[in-house]
Each structure stands twice: as C-alpha cells, then as structure tokens.
Amino acid sequence: MGIKIENIIKNFGSFVALDSINLDIKEGKLTALLGPSGSGKTTLLRIIAGLENADEGKISFFGKDITNAHAKDRGIGFVFQHYALFKHMNVFDNIAFGLRVRPKNVRPSKEEIKKKVNTLLSMIQLEFLANRMPHELSGGQKQRVALARALAIEPKVLLLDEPFGALDAKVRQDLRRWLRRLHDEISITSVFVTHDQEEALEVSDEIVIMQNGKIEQVGTPESVYENPANPFVYSFLGNVNLFSGRVGENGLVLGEGETLFVRPHEIEVFLQKEIDAIEARVIGHRILGARVRLDLMAQGREICAEIPKLQFDILRNSGKNSVFIRFLSLKSFQDNEWSEYVI
C-alpha cells in the first residue's frame, strides 16, 4: 500500500476544488495527476503534502493516517516548478540543507553529509558543479539540483509540482527521460502534477485524469489512451477529430447523426480513389518533423489527418490538393459506452 486518499473534499468559498476524491497511489510507482487548469490536481498534491488542509476526508501513507500531520512530519520531498533553490548557497550546500537542519540527535555527521551529497551529485550527473551558485546554472541543472535536495532527506514520498513547466521544450524532453531512468533506479513512491499529456504518457506508471475537481479515469498510460473512459478523456489525451456522421451500407456520410471521434493518425490518405475512401481537399498543412498534419475539408467538414513526411512530399510533388481519405477506426459514445466502427 502506498498513498490512500479517501473522500477528500476541498472548497474555496463557493468553488468546489475537490469533490469526494478517492484514490490509491501505488507504492514505488510514479503517478501523474493530469488535467486542465482548475481541475484540482495541484490542490490535491498540496493536500497530500500537508501544505493545504482538506475540509473532509482522510489520507494515509503506507497504512498510517497522516491526515492531521504537519507537512514536516510526513516524510515528503517536494520539487517545485520554479526550483526554489537558496540563492546564497552553492549547489553542494543546497543539497545538504535538509540534512544539516535536522535535530542534533538525528543529524548525520559532516562526513556522512558529504558522502550523501556527493552520491546525489553523481546521480544527477552534476559533480563538476558542486561549487557553482544557482544563478550560474541552466534551468535544467537547477531542476536536477532541486530534485537532489528533495531526495537528500530520503523521503517516503516524492511530490513534484509541474517540475518541467518552466523549461524549454528540448530540455523538458531530456529531463523527462532522465527522471524516468532515475525513478527506475530508486523506486520511490512519487506523484507529479502536469497539464502536459505527452509528459504524463511518457514518464508515469499510472495516470490520474482530473476535471472540475473529480477523477475521470485512473490507469496505465496505455490503458487510458487506448480505452478512454469518456469523451473528455479521449479528447484530452492527444488530438482528436470530433464531428457528426453516420456509418451505413454505403460507408461514412458526414453531417447529421452520431457524434464521432477519430484520431488524426487513424486516417489514411490516398492520391487515388480507394475502396470506402471519401474525397477531401487539402486546405492547409503543418510540418511536425517526421510527420505532417493535414487540414482537410470533406463533405463540408474540417478534418485533421497526420501522415509521414515522405508521403507528404509525394503529395506536394503531385501538385494536387484533392485526396481521398479512409477512417481506420471511428468511435461514438452513447449511454456511457463506446461503440467502434471499422469501415
């Protein structure tokens, strides 16, 4: 058992931030709280940390009730979005801080602290920066130091609040991979908040998807992406086309009918007419590295498809702006259940 959250309610005046949250966070796993702004994910993280009090409910760490425990007594490490490093301390002293301020009877010796900090510096691959001041570090380096400082006290639980939100895209991607590898080594029970779907899918063992103070779905990255619980989850996890249409004996007809969902990569694009394909006109495109996103108009409806760059080069060289598209899968959601059409 890791972290157990039972019937947590939190209101800010008339605003319901958390509405009867029940959640089991697995021990030794990396769990993402994912959702749009205002979904309640940061409030839930702060309540787990003891930085915010719930109006109702109970929280347990590894079978022990810590609902009313002070933050400093919960055995947590906290990593903030904006690092919160001590500006007047070098890297070594920042990491050592939590060890040096322990009560004298449990404080490690100077040699033990030095050994611990050097081990952490090696772990975050910044041994050569031990004497640097925070203003001499890059954003990615600062975040690694902040993580090492949180780990120095050997917390039972590691909490990360949008840890990569202040970094540029390339550094963010590198740190995500680094954090995943690090977590596989130390296996600490970790919870991180993010609004970045790709980040949650890439880094976490389990994803908790939230909206309007409620949990919409909990599961592995693969399960929530492949089997979304409802249209919100489907739409929130990646790009999706949403339109009305019906599937009959003559194939797909766009317009009136059910609300249909299809992801851009589930659409085939052809230069020539194919069986069950409908005609579409290319009205725009965006090159995304190895893939290209096409904006299409079909039967009066705008549709987005993604194709490999090599296929797009063939299309562009043909000089045509008329193509044919076929849907590999279409889903509709009715009576709290998904139906899938294979055309």
Same-domain pairing of 246 and 218: no
Alpha-carbon distances, residue 276 vs 243, 253, 328 (angstroms): 18, 11, 10
The CATH number covering residue 156 comes to 3.40.50.300
Backbone angles phi, psi at 73, to 5 degrees: -100, 5
In the chain, the number of structural domains is 2
Contact 343, 273 (CB under 8 A): no
Q: Cα separation of 141 and 121, whole Å?
A: 11
Supply the range of the domain harboring residue 268: 241-341
Question: Does 220 lie in the same domain as 92?
Answer: yes
Q: Is 255 helix (H, G, I), strand (E, B) or coil?
A: coil
Provide the residue-wise pLDDT of the chain in tens; the chain has 343 residues: 799 999 999 999 999 999 999 999 999 999 999 999 999 999 999 999 999 999 999 999 999 999 999 998 999 999 887 778 899 999 999 999 999 988 888 899 999 999 999 999 988 888 899 999 999 999 889 988 998 998 898 899 999 998 887 677 777 788 888 888 888 888 899 999 998 898 999 999 999 999 999 999 999 999 999 899 999 999 999 889 988 877 776 667 777 778 889 999 999 999 999 888 899 999 999 999 999 999 999 988 899 999 999 999 999 999 888 999 999 888 888 888 888 876 6
Judgement on whether residues 33 and 61 belong to the same structural domain of the protein: yes
Mean of all residue pLDDT scores within the chain: 90
Q: What is the CATH number of the domain that holds 252?
A: 2.40.50.100
Give the integer Cα–Cα distance in Å for 81 and 101.
Answer: 23
In this predicted model, what pLDDT tens digit does every residue of 207-254 receive, in sequence order?
A: 999 999 999 999 999 999 989 999 999 999 988 998 887 777 666 777
Task: Please give the Cα distance from 60 to 245 (Å, whole number).
Answer: 48
In the 3-class helix/strand/coil scheme, how is 171-184 assigned residue by residue? Answer: HHHHHHHHHHHHHH
Q: Which two tokens stand for residue 225?
A: 């992406």
111 contacts: CB under 8 Å, gap ≥ 6: none
* Domain membership flag for residue 235: no
> What percent of the chain is predicted at pLDDT more than 70?
98
Predicted local distance difference test score (pLDDT) of residue 343: 65
- pTM tops 0.75: yes
Q: Supply 209's token pair.
A: 């998807």
Q: Does 246 share its domain with 198?
A: no
